[in-house]
Structure 1
Amino acid sequence: MAIDLCNKSPGALAESHPGSWDDAVPEPKALEDLAAEQTDALNFAYRTTLSNVDPRFVAGDPAAWASDFGYALDKVAIRLDSRSNDKLREQAFQHPDPAMREQALFEYADRDHEDAVELLAEAVRTDRDRQVRWDSLWAIEKLGGPKAINALSEFRTDADPEIAEWARLFISELQTGDPAFDGRSGLYTPGRTFDETIFLLIHCDLYVRLDPSNTHWGKISLAPQGLARVYGQAHACPNVATREKQLVIAKTIDGLHADGSPHCDNYLFRGFTDRTRRDRGNFFFESLVPRTFFKSGQADDPSQGVRQADIGFARYGTWHLEPRFQIREEAAIRYVRGRFQGWGYVDLSRIAGRALEEVLVPGNGVLSTLHDPEVGPMTNAFILGTFKGKLNDWDGDGVIDLNSRDVYSTVDGEIDMDQDGIADRPGLTCCDHTALMP
């Protein structure tokens, strides 16, 4: 999330990047010196720009731009990733684990070094992992500016259609605020639980309170693959008939269960959607689900006791429709983007002094709540970030797959391992750790 703030402070925008107004306009003209048509064009451009810029940088009242908790924490938190810049550059290309290569890239970008865009672009050119490539494109977009657009332009005609479409999409967002897509056709598979299963890229900052005084905070910037490894790979699963008021976020964590089965963790979200535009929906959704809270801070580890609690989470953003992809005479969602926030618990003894490879392991961190008498006092992490997801061609046949991804959930978020639409155990929305105990 903080990468999105790089190079975008009011001071940087006004004086530093890409240069001061004095350098850009040698002989600035007064507004009253402009011709009438120039004044009209300027006013029109200003009104258009307001729809796409961060309101913190145009609003006069600090309540509108200085009250973001994550923005405040990011200015004071210490980095819990202590690797040197040289080490990050090395591991971004040489680490054998793609998730760790990606983590190094995002950490380097979050530090806002001048060569961050060049480093990310080189990863897109050379990395062997497809997701490292498209996640690196996203990090370039997050840094923003003309340099980012130039870097993204290199990949508009990439041999991988998904890389090419992500590059064009990000360029379009930077230039117009809206995504752009290619002309591939789409395939809908009837008979599945969900009309769409959208693979989500999620980037978040984890701000951890380091002591009870509230004066010391730590920060971990989790890249998409690192976050998926710890908390689960998420899919947004809407159905056309109900998508404006509810959807399921289905998550799976690989490598947590000893028998190799995926750990399933489903969240039913409900909320409002604004449909004043036919081509999109603006939404604000919340989830409140029963969960077993593991006091060890490690999912499925009851060694320090457990507590049943209701865990809340919020997500909000915009989905964009594709009229060429029809599901029961309705346009499918081609792309979704937004923000999310919630609470978590991190056992600091499990991360202190350990290499990042030992920290970013399946289940090493649990979601939490402030509203439970036992869990609330243990809650020490504020989680916020951004997500993006688009429909992809997963089997390489040149056709976009609308709902081919395997997700283990009913329409109400209950566990459904055989994907027949019927809950394996009514009311169970997360894998039961007791069923896995010897």
Structure 2
Amino acid sequence: MTLQSIGLSTGGRDRAPEWEHYLKGDPALLNSELGDILDRDAVRLDIRTDDQVAYEALHHPDPMVREQSLYQAMDRRLPEAIDLIAESIATDENREVRWNALWALEKIGGPRALQIIERHVNDDDADVGEWAQLFSSELRTGLPAFDNRSFAWDSDRTFDETILLNIHCDVYVALDETGRNWGKISLAPQGLARSYGQAHACPNTDTRNQKLIISKTLSGLHEDGTPHTENFVFRGLTNHANAGRGSFYFESRGLRPIFLSGRADDDSLGHRNEMVAAKRSGEWTLDPRIQIRGESAIRYVRGRVHTWGYVNFDTMAGSSLEEVLFPGNSILGTLDTPTGPLANAFIVGTFKGKLVDWDGDDKVNVNSLDIYSTLDGDVDSDQDGVADIPGVQFCPRTNWMN
């Protein structure tokens, strides 16, 4: 496959990047982040025109596509991107589109973006307002700020907290085996959740400094409507030098199937069971007003994630956004196993998650979300704290273990 065969151009990328100024700093530090380098070189694989992106950001019936279009406008640096995002925040009926649009403004930064964000601090939706307050405070001080709502907590749940993570990922796909041609798919939070699954951070107060379960559920993959589940056990260390905040670095490595089709639970081309790894680092902020088992709850978490994936690009080239972002398309991968050569996508992203009022009672819900995991990350489809199959962290419906 070549760029020309799918209608894309290298766009003059054969030039070596110019070093802006010798006082900029040590290239070993400044020029060693693979995602930053690929972002300069990769062609964008969203085939829509700028006019299509702008129109669908406000008018497409699917909130995932609207949100994806806003992030695409930001990635393309369209002149009207801030105006599109501002109108979306003011008019969209989907609260997740609205708060992820606020996040897009924070990513853009600058006085105008800050001004728009601060218009919504007192929004009718308390969580949209709190996100605006949080982003405003981060832009001004680097630290988040929260409102004073009360909270609801259930002592019978497996996890002390269940925090939905908004993840913005850039997926850089090797388009051939030369290493010279890369494509970029920028996934807004709902686009990532639609295709890869919605991730939740699930800490318990007694183990959160060294261990964390990330539980991922994917809707729309199984014909009977049950969620597809993948759980990841992350382990690492947390630094508490700053009062009320924890800076962490965690890694996960777990056995799961790599489907040769490139689609979750699609065993039509067979699979290999491999150890798949991921890394996450960042910072969480405690709220002393929310006490759980004698400890302050994590009110907010932010950070970065790195991992590898396998994208069956031959089935995606020339497809529309809706045809590409369907449940289960593309899977996580690994480098150091027999299936390592299949890994053709470098995935780097940022994540943010906070406690949200999910049931509309004006109280933030600390652990109300349904999480299909045991304390050890095994799949627990009835949420009774007991593993469906001990040691299995990936939905076994395709009978991949055999």
Whether contact under 8 Å (1:117, 1:151) holds in the other structure is no
What's the C-alpha RMSD, in Å, of the aligned pairs? Answer: 1.6
Q: Kindly tell me: are residues 180 and 401 of structure 1, through their superposed partners in 2, closer, same or farther at Cα, counting changes over 3 Å?
A: same
Match of 2:73 among 105, 108, 112: 108
Could you tell me how far 1:386 is from its partner in structure 2? 0.2
Relative to its length, the structure with more helix (as a share) is 1
The alignment status of 1:428 with 2:357, answered yes or no, reads no
Q: Give the 5 Å matches for 1:23-422.
A: 60-373=25-338, 375-422=339-386
Deviation at 1:329, TM superposition (A): 1.0
Question: What do the CA deviations read for 1:145-179 (whole angstroms, capped 9, x no partner)?
Answer: 11110110111111000010000100000010000
Distance in 2 (alpha carbons) for counterparts of 1:286 and 1:88: 36
- Using the alignment, how far apart are the partners of 1:168 and 1:65 within structure 2? 32
Structure 1, residues 2-59: CA drift from partner, whole Å, max 9, x if none? xxxxxxxxxxxx9xxxxxxxxxxxxxxxxxxxxxxxxxxxxxxxxxxxxxxxxxx997
Cα deviations by residue, 1:106-151 (Å, 9 ceiling, x for unpaired): 1001111232111101001111111111110100100011111011
SS of structure 2 residue aligned to 1:313: strand
Matches of 1:69 and 1:99, distance apart in 2: 28
Q: What CA deviation, in whole Å up to 9, does each residue of 1:386-436 have, x standing for no partner?
A: 000000111111111100111100011001111111111101101113349
Matched residue type, 1:305:
G
Q: Which amino acid in structure 2 is aligned with residue 218 of structure 1?
A: G
Q: CA deviation at 1:347?
A: 0.5
Q: How far apart, CA to CA, are the structure 1 residues paired with 2:296 and 2:259?
A: 41
What SS does structure 1 have at the residue aligned with 2:398? helix
Structure 1 residues 318 and 59: CA distance shift in structure 2, 3 A: farther
Identity over aligned pairs, percent: 55
**Equivalence for 1:11:** none
Structure 2 residue matching 1:393: 3-state secondary structure? coil
Cα distance in 2 for residues equivalent to 1:347 and 1:58: 42
Q: Which amino acid counterpart does residue 257 of structure 1 have in structure 2? A: H
For residue 434 of structure 1, give the secondary structure of its aligned residue in structure 2: coil
The answer on whether the counterparts of 2:151 and 2:363 sit within 8 Å (CA) in structure 1 is: yes
SS in 2 for 1:326: strand
Instruction: Answer yes or no: is the 8 Å Cα contact 2:58–2:84 preserved in 1.
Output: no
- For 1:260, the aligned partner's letter is G
Aligned-pair CA distance for 1:99:
0.4
How far apart, in 2, do the equivalents of 1:405 and 1:316 lie? 23
The answer as to whether partners of 1:230 and 1:360 remain within 8 angstroms in 2 is yes
* Cα separation, 1, equivalents of 2:143 and 2:30: 23
Tell me if the contact between 1:120 and 1:136 (Cα under 8 Å) persists in the aligned partners: yes
Whole-Å Cα distance in 2 between the matches of residues 434 and 122 of structure 1? Answer: 44
Question: 1:277: Cα distance to partner?
Answer: 2.1
Q: CA separation of 1:305/1:58 partners in 2, compared to 1, >3 Å: closer, same or farther?
A: farther
The one-letter amino acid paired with 1:406 is: D
Q: For the residues of structure 1 that align with 2:77 and 2:158, how far apart are their CA atoms?
A: 43
Amino acid at match of 2:394: C
The unaligned stretches of length 5 or more in structure 1 are: 1-13, 15-56
Determine helix, strand or coil for the equivalent of 2:47: coil
3-state SS, counterpart of residue 433 of structure 1: coil
Q: Provide, for residues 279-306 of structure 1, a one-character-per-residue CA deviation record: whole Å limited to 9, x for no partner.
A: 0100000000101110000111111111
Contact 2:271–2:400 (8 Å) recurs in 1: no
Shift of 1:350: 1.4
Aligned equivalents of 2:24 and 2:156: distance in 1?
49
Deviation >4 Å, runs of 4+: none
Q: Secondary structure at the match of 2:98?
A: helix
The whole-number CA distance in structure 1 between the counterparts of 2:334 and 2:25 is 34
1:40-89 deviation per Cα after TM superposition (whole angstroms, max 9, x unaligned): xxxxxxxxxxxxxxxxx997222122211000000010000021111001
* 2:14 matched residue in structure 1: none
Aligned residue for 1:278, secondary structure, equals coil
Following the alignment from structure 1 to structure 2, what is the Cα–Cα distance between the partners of residues 84 and 236? 36
Distance 1:81 1:378 in 2: 23
Per-residue CA deviations over 1:342-401 (Å, capped at 9, x if unaligned) read: 00000011101111110000000010001112x111110000000000001111111111
- State the AA in 2 paired with 1:185: S
Determine the structure 2 residue equivalent to 1:37.
none
Structure 2: distance between partners of 1:214 and 1:59: 27
2:76 is matched by which residue type in structure 1?
A: R
Larger radius of gyration: 1
1:228, CA displacement in angstroms?
0.3
**Post-superposition offset of 1:223:** 0.5
Equivalent residue for 1:4? none
Q: Is the 8 A contact 1:199 1:236 kept in 2?
A: yes
Q: Equivalent residue of 1:353, what SS?
A: coil
8 Å CA contact 1:315–1:340 kept in 2: the answer is yes
